[in-house]
Amino acid sequence: MKITKISLYDLELPLHQPYLLSRGRTFTKFDSTFVKIETDEGITGWGEVCPWGSTYLPAFAGGVRAALAEIAPQLLGHDPREVEKMNRLMDRVLSGHVYAKAGIDYALWDISGKAAGQPIHALLGGAETKEVPMISSIHVDSPENMAADVERWRNLGYRRHSIKVGESVDGDIARIRHLTEFRQSDEIFDYDANGGWNPWEAIQVMNAVRDTDAWFEQPCLTYEECLTVRQQTSQALSLDECITGVREVVRAISDRSCDVVNVKLARVGGITRARWIRDICLEFGIPMMLMDMAGTVTNDSVVAHFASTLPENRCIGTWSCQDMVSVDSAPGQGARNVNGRLTVPEGPGLGHEPDEDILGTPFLVVK
């Protein structure tokens, strides 16, 4: 089997309502890029890359498209089923920019699954579950409004919530105390600063609420800052934005700097590289949250396949973007939110095909 054609599409994803993160970051839409890889045997694979704007991570839509335009011509004529070899080829063609390479990696796994007549999760070792618990995302607001938002997601079946903090020390202490009292016994509340605190702010907030059962995610921007916070606080800690690959995971385990790892598949380069992280975390008993950056049901389906391969006691849950955006790339197909759980597709490969009428005309075709 050989790659004969690669097409790239861009798709704007307006949000149903503005989304607020720490440090005053506001988002009203996302900008997604779709990858379609065609082969000489008539099998087609799909991938999607959708950074969370340009201020969340060192990734942005323009960078995705420039990187893919550089890489795509060099993949023609190669066997897409050789995913490890193809990832090494992409690294030789372009250093870094692993977030852009994730879209191609997803499409390679889609083709591999279709060629084998198996869903992606079967190629990854087998699914432990047919549905993955979902995590809501509660953006920064007043404590009362955030509690109301939790209640809204709770009524949709969610029992795990990512509570955004990182606005101000006093304000965040008030949010955490109010929402901790609001938490029900079977719920998980993760207070996520998305790197919005400096170490002094994080230490103040976390020590002020150490009498609660609150746990925290990515308090500061860098690994070194998070490690400083870890050494001066007592709560459980998850690392997210500073986990960019397997080396960072190995370092975190060695330093005992976290209790949970949040793996964003696109941020670490796709399924192929995320698989290494999964296996290391399982070996060392580190629970994981698994998600992509942003996007549509196409990205959610990738995550559903991957997350389903974790034992239940090692998967805290996944976050889905499809309910936040007003565009559906594959209506009625793929992984879907059913009562706060993400269904795992069972068809070959990804288990769905994006609607090309929705995607429109590709902005680049190489063949």
Catalytic residue IDs: 164, 264
Residues 203 and 229: their CA atoms lie apart, in Å, by 6
Strand partners, 138: 163
Strand partners, 119: 349
Judge whether 57 and 129 are in contact, CB under 8 Å.
no
Q: Kindly provide the b/e burial profile for residues 338-367, where b requires at least 16 CB atoms within 10 angstroms of the residue's own CB.
A: eebbbbbbebbbbbbbbeeeebeebeeebe
Question: In Å, how far are 39, 55, 265 from 271, measured between CA atoms?
Answer: 20, 24, 6
| First-to-last C-alpha distance (Å) of the chain | 15
Residues 282 and 305: their CA atoms lie apart, in Å, by 17
Biggest CA-to-CA distance, the chain: 62
Q: How many Å separate Cα 261 from the centre of its chain?
A: 12
| Pairing, β 364-366 against β 315-318 | unpaired
CA torsion sign for 52, 341, 114, 269 is positive
Give me 207's structure tokens: 């020590």
